[in-house]
Chain A
């Protein structure tokens, strides 16, 4: 009850922040530091310039709201936890607090602090309340993957911290200062990968996605919801905030390569999801595939793509939360998640059919639902990305050559999504109903119904009225795009100078 009260309070406050931000959208040309609102700043460890600085921009305000919604849903879904409920909700609150913390942190150290704080309760919750067969393995795997990732980023972060003076700004952990820093290109080239990848592990980027389905499956329902719904966004968010925003030239150098990884993510994730029999694994792999789209949005390096990625974060967050709550309800009642055993659930649990189908349509990107609003800009961004100027890049990949192909293949990935989702709907909810086998099905509680309706409403609302979310996310992404554009310009200039120089040399040599 206390947990519920806390979550509702959190939700109300987040809505306030969101609405307040939405009403004062910053100027499109503003620097990131000026787009922040609700900033609070205290000294924490002054000796090394670590501050307690929090504030939100357009993207983080949205994600904070998302966290509150999913957190509230998680508390409602876990209403009937019987094994040590006090500890359960205490750890759950800690988890949500950590996630909130990452989204609002404006100080690099604080961001890492909250990040670690969010990973720890995951371990405890999976190990204690998780699925008995896999929980120890999955929990350990998840924790080690995530912590290794974050510390790899951390090393890169520390290295850059000590080289801040070389980039022309004061030595501090304040990300507002970082976001103005211009590191030498050679440094960005080397350190972008560790910085970005460390967090991208949490976003499930191929080939580091392996921990995620196991973690989803082993976690209790509420934790799966937070995990897939919010925690993976944490990775995407942090890799953008710390990786892309700080090292734009590194971004431009590496992204043409990373988009290939994300393409693998999208396709490979869908194909694996296709052959899963366990519903949670199915959704787990579909999350990998969808988070691939988020990373792909970042890899487009265009405003449209970034905005799409931001909306996809929210849309996917609500959608997987919905999926996991449906699967959790089925599992609570049928004690199995295998699609071989389940059939005809529409008779026993009619309330679950429509939400699951809505979730499915969202994940296929059906127009009128939030998935379309999210995926369409991403694909559009990829296509637009093919007109990016040629810049020095890893393996000398030139976006113009293959971004269109990437876009086509990724759109084809949606077809696979449709296939596995529809198949799941078909086998689980339709088909023969064995009333002997399922005679002791408990009905769905009102509280569960409320959760499902809440999620569905959000998905439909975003789909029908995209303007409630589009501008605010766009305002959060604009400063980042500015950084990238500046970087592209300097790099292109460099490049053309080099070309002129080589031409000159060859001409001289020829003469």
Chain B
């Protein structure tokens, strides 16, 4: 942790800096646009996201930032221990930028959302997510999380003329503010505890190394640590919409503009997992593993989340609500990898999230396009989709198969890695529960396939126009769904490398 500003420091947050530049560009560009050219603002945002994605990957490939060697040591802690630029940051950044790019692509031609503010807020939220994944300090984490959250609240209520959207925004805000407040209380407890033993640190890794020394904390304080962990789980659980912090999910997903739903269900969830991974694996509440009490909290949360999510999804007749519950269940699967607390488990979770970004984007992209024509989100709008637009039906088919975990899609491999990690760590019963859940889920995913291919609808002659931008967005998603399904090796190696480096510092 050097204290002079070096090139490393700048390079470490160059993607975020570029996002800020893009944000300014979008806002300025939007002012000068004629009404006829409104879609250009989305185009700018999509190209910008793509450029920054390339930049991020270029930094890694050509300049070695983040550096794998450096990531192993405390040198990866930059900006006075606020930020940690390692491979995990990179993996999550790629997820967020990809999500931003695809969201922009599928939003370009949604008339009501062709406003500079919408894209600007998406970019702000992305900055927040990105910093959440990079944060190494409770203060940094909190600020990043708020940046992301506040943009999200506005985005959820973006369609002011629509009551449901306003309701969604309000609900999201009230629930989110409460969750953040509770989380902050947990953080302050933790900080207080550490101050009382003379180490007023808020850096996870420092806190972790203090706790790893037996006797550093008096045993009476264990209760406080557990309480702090529980309160912080509240805040993070809200982000990944884990049961029992999921009540906002169906309403917000349903009411918000669908483009934002797509974004929040992928990027925001992934960011939630990033902080889970960072904070809990860093040993901020003591070494992770079966002996710590909060571990039981996490594992029960994981089981309940996937079970409740799946069973609730069966009864939905609104496609967005259905996908909301499905995304709750998916969070449960991803948690399986996390609670194993092994490098392989975390790698599996990251791979799962990576494929989940593309999968959910594809599913929501299709819904946006249907919504543009039909104006509602009823499951009945999907009837006969195959006759109206074979292309959309095919995209949806792949997305659903991937969500359900059937080869040759990425979902199968993702689930396989997660379950494998669980069995490897000795929780074969957890893997079994996950698999049983996957069957329940298959029921409603396959029902949608049935609606699309089998049922007929009255507006079979009404074609669904697909703009080129949306085609590209969906095409990218489907490409990665299949690519990660058939050739998962490199991506998994990448996440494994990230997780291994992380665990080497933390545990070793």
A in complex with B: yes
Interface set of A (CB-CB < 8 Å, partner B): 43-48, 109, 113-114, 116-117, 119-120, 123-124, 127-128, 136, 139-140, 143-144, 147-148, 151, 154-155, 158-159, 162
Given the complex of chains A and B, what is the CA–CA distance between A162 and B427 in angstroms? 12
Q: Is B489 an interface residue (CB 8 A)?
A: yes
Q: Is B450 an interface residue (CB 8 A)?
A: yes
Given the complex of chains A and B, what is the CA–CA distance between A158 and B418 in angstroms? 12
Query: In the complex, are the beta carbons of B435 and A144 less than 8 A apart?
Result: no
Question: Given A147-B439, A158-B431: A127 and B450 within 8 A (CB)?
Answer: yes
**Residues of A contacting B428 in the complex (Cβ-Cβ under 8 angstroms):** 155, 158-159
List the 9 shortest-distance A-B pairs measured between CB atoms, nearest first. A45-B489, A158-B423, A151-B435, A116-B407, A113-B407, A117-B407, A120-B406, A128-B453, A47-B493
Query: In the complex, are the beta carbons of B493 and A46 less than 8 A apart?
Result: yes
Query: In the complex, are the beta carbons of B453 and A143 less than 8 A apart?
Result: no
A157 and chain B: residue at smallest CB distance: B423
Query: In the complex, are the beta carbons of B432 and A144 less than 8 A apart?
Result: no
Query: In the complex, are the beta carbons of B492 and A162 less than 8 A apart?
Result: no
Q: Is B371 an interface residue (CB 8 A)?
A: no
Given the complex of chains A and B, what is the CA–CA distance between A158 and B424 in angstroms? 8
**Residues of A contacting B438 in the complex (Cβ-Cβ under 8 angstroms):** 151
Question: Given A45-B489, A46-B489, A116-B406: A159 and B443 within 8 A (CB)?
Answer: no
B433-447 vs A, CB cutoff 8 Å, 1 = contact: the mask equals 001001100110010
Given the complex of chains A and B, what is the CA–CA distance between A119 and B404 in angstroms? 13
Q: Is B419 an interface residue (CB 8 A)?
A: yes
Given the complex of chains A and B, what is the CA–CA distance between A116 and B407 in angstroms? 6
Question: Given A46-B493, A155-B423: A128 and B454 within 8 A (CB)?
Answer: yes
Q: Is B181 an interface residue (CB 8 A)?
A: no
Q: Is B488 an interface residue (CB 8 A)?
A: yes
B453 and chain A: residue at smallest CB distance: A128
Question: Given A136-B450, A144-B443, A162-B423: A47 and B496 within 8 A (CB)?
Answer: yes
Query: In the complex, are the beta carbons of B449 and A144 less than 8 A apart?
Result: no
B404-415 vs A, CB cutoff 8 Å, 1 = contact: the mask equals 001110001100
Q: Is B191 an interface residue (CB 8 A)?
A: no
Given the complex of chains A and B, what is the CA–CA distance between A481 and B174 in angstroms? 68
Query: In the complex, are the beta carbons of A143 and B446 less than 8 A apart?
Result: yes
Q: Is B164 an interface residue (CB 8 A)?
A: no
Closest Cβ of chain B to A131, distance in Å, is: 13
Number of A-B contacts (CB under 8 A): 74
Question: Given A128-B453, A151-B435, A155-B431: A47 and B489 within 8 A (CB)?
Answer: yes
B485 and chain A: residue at smallest CB distance: A113
* A-B contact list, 6 entries, CB within 8 Å: A45-B492, A48-B492, A127-B454, A155-B435, A158-B428, A159-B428
Closest Cβ of chain A to B77, distance in Å, is: 28
B438 and chain A: residue at smallest CB distance: A151
Q: Is B154 an interface residue (CB 8 A)?
A: no
Query: In the complex, are the beta carbons of B454 and A136 less than 8 A apart?
Result: yes
Q: Is B420 an interface residue (CB 8 A)?
A: yes
Given the complex of chains A and B, what is the CA–CA distance between A139 and B413 in angstroms? 24
Given the complex of chains A and B, what is the CA–CA distance between A123 and B428 in angstroms? 29
Question: Given A47-B492, A48-B420, A136-B454: A154 and B446 within 8 A (CB)?
Answer: no
Q: Is B401 an interface residue (CB 8 A)?
A: yes
Closest Cβ of chain B to A46, distance in Å, is: 6
Query: In the complex, are the beta carbons of B412 and A154 less than 8 A apart?
Result: no
Given the complex of chains A and B, what is the CA–CA distance between A48 and B453 in angstroms? 37
Query: In the complex, are the beta carbons of A45 and B488 less than 8 A apart?
Result: yes
Query: In the complex, are the beta carbons of A113 and B431 less than 8 A apart?
Result: no
**Residues of A contacting B488 in the complex (Cβ-Cβ under 8 angstroms):** 45
**Residues of B contacting A44 in the complex (Cβ-Cβ under 8 angstroms):** 487, 489
A114 and chain B: residue at smallest CB distance: B407
Most buried by B among A43, A48, A148, A154: A48
Closest Cβ of chain A to B393, distance in Å, is: 10
Given the complex of chains A and B, what is the CA–CA distance between A128 and B412 in angstroms? 24
Query: In the complex, are the beta carbons of B412 and A116 less than 8 A apart?
Result: yes
**Residues of A contacting B416 in the complex (Cβ-Cβ under 8 angstroms):** 109
B423 and chain A: residue at smallest CB distance: A158
Closest Cβ of chain A to B240, distance in Å, is: 25
**Residues of A contacting B443 in the complex (Cβ-Cβ under 8 angstroms):** 140, 144
Given the complex of chains A and B, what is the CA–CA distance between A44 and B435 in angstroms? 24
Across the interface, A148 reaches (CB within 8 A) one of B413, B420, B439, namely B439
B425 and chain A: residue at smallest CB distance: A162
B432 and chain A: residue at smallest CB distance: A155
Query: In the complex, are the beta carbons of B446 and A151 less than 8 A apart?
Result: no
**Residues of A contacting B453 in the complex (Cβ-Cβ under 8 angstroms):** 124, 127-128
Across the interface, A123 reaches (CB within 8 A) one of B407, B408, B446, namely B446
**Residues of A contacting B424 in the complex (Cβ-Cβ under 8 angstroms):** 162
**Residues of A contacting B439 in the complex (Cβ-Cβ under 8 angstroms):** 144, 147-148, 151
B488 and chain A: residue at smallest CB distance: A45
**Residues of A contacting B407 in the complex (Cβ-Cβ under 8 angstroms):** 113-114, 116-117, 120
Query: In the complex, are the beta carbons of A127 and B431 less than 8 A apart?
Result: no
B473-508 vs A, CB cutoff 8 Å, 1 = contact: the mask equals 000000000000001110011001000000000000
Given the complex of chains A and B, what is the CA–CA distance between A151 and B438 in angstroms? 10
B16-45 vs A, CB cutoff 8 Å, 1 = contact: the mask equals 000000000000000000000000000000
Given the complex of chains A and B, what is the CA–CA distance between A144 and B441 in angstroms? 10
B435 and chain A: residue at smallest CB distance: A151
A136 and chain B: residue at smallest CB distance: B450
B271-296 vs A, CB cutoff 8 Å, 1 = contact: the mask equals 00000000000000000000000000
**Residues of B contacting A159 in the complex (Cβ-Cβ under 8 angstroms):** 423, 428
Closest Cβ of chain A to B385, distance in Å, is: 13
Query: In the complex, are the beta carbons of B406 and A43 less than 8 A apart?
Result: no
Across the interface, A43 reaches (CB within 8 A) one of B401, B449, B489, namely B489
**Residues of A contacting B492 in the complex (Cβ-Cβ under 8 angstroms):** 45, 47-48
Task: Supply 16 further A-B pairs (C-beta < 8 A) apart from A127-B454, A144-B442, A159-B428.
Answer: A43-B489, A47-B492, A48-B492, A113-B407, A113-B412, A116-B407, A128-B453, A136-B454, A139-B450, A143-B446, A148-B439, A155-B419, A158-B419, A158-B428, A162-B423, A162-B424
Given the complex of chains A and B, what is the CA–CA distance between A46 and B490 in angstroms? 9
A50 and chain B: residue at smallest CB distance: B489
Given the complex of chains A and B, what is the CA–CA distance between A113 and B413 in angstroms? 9
B417 and chain A: residue at smallest CB distance: A48
Given the complex of chains A and B, what is the CA–CA distance between A117 and B413 in angstroms? 13
**Residues of B contacting A48 in the complex (Cβ-Cβ under 8 angstroms):** 417, 420, 492
Closest Cβ of chain B to A202, distance in Å, is: 15
Closest Cβ of chain B to A170, distance in Å, is: 16
Query: In the complex, are the beta carbons of B442 and A158 less than 8 A apart?
Result: no
Closest Cβ of chain B to A250, distance in Å, is: 18
A120 and chain B: residue at smallest CB distance: B406
A144 and chain B: residue at smallest CB distance: B439
Given the complex of chains A and B, what is the CA–CA distance between A158 and B420 in angstroms? 7
Closest Cβ of chain B to A158, distance in Å, is: 5
A152 and chain B: residue at smallest CB distance: B435
**Residues of B contacting A143 in the complex (Cβ-Cβ under 8 angstroms):** 442, 446
Query: In the complex, are the beta carbons of B496 and A147 less than 8 A apart?
Result: no
Given the complex of chains A and B, what is the CA–CA distance between A151 and B489 in angstroms? 22
Most buried by A among B401, B419, B450: B450
**Residues of B contacting A154 in the complex (Cβ-Cβ under 8 angstroms):** 435
Closest Cβ of chain B to A398, distance in Å, is: 33
Closest Cβ of chain A to B493, distance in Å, is: 5
Most buried by A among B413, B423, B438, B493: B423
Closest Cβ of chain B to A143, distance in Å, is: 6
Across the interface, B408 reaches (CB within 8 A) one of A109, A113, A155, namely A113
Closest Cβ of chain A to B455, distance in Å, is: 10
Given the complex of chains A and B, what is the CA–CA distance between A5 and B424 in angstroms? 46
Closest Cβ of chain B to A156, distance in Å, is: 10
Given the complex of chains A and B, what is the CA–CA distance between A398 and B438 in angstroms? 40
Closest Cβ of chain B to A302, distance in Å, is: 34
A117 and chain B: residue at smallest CB distance: B407
Most buried by A among B401, B417, B435, B487: B435
Closest Cβ of chain A to B89, distance in Å, is: 21
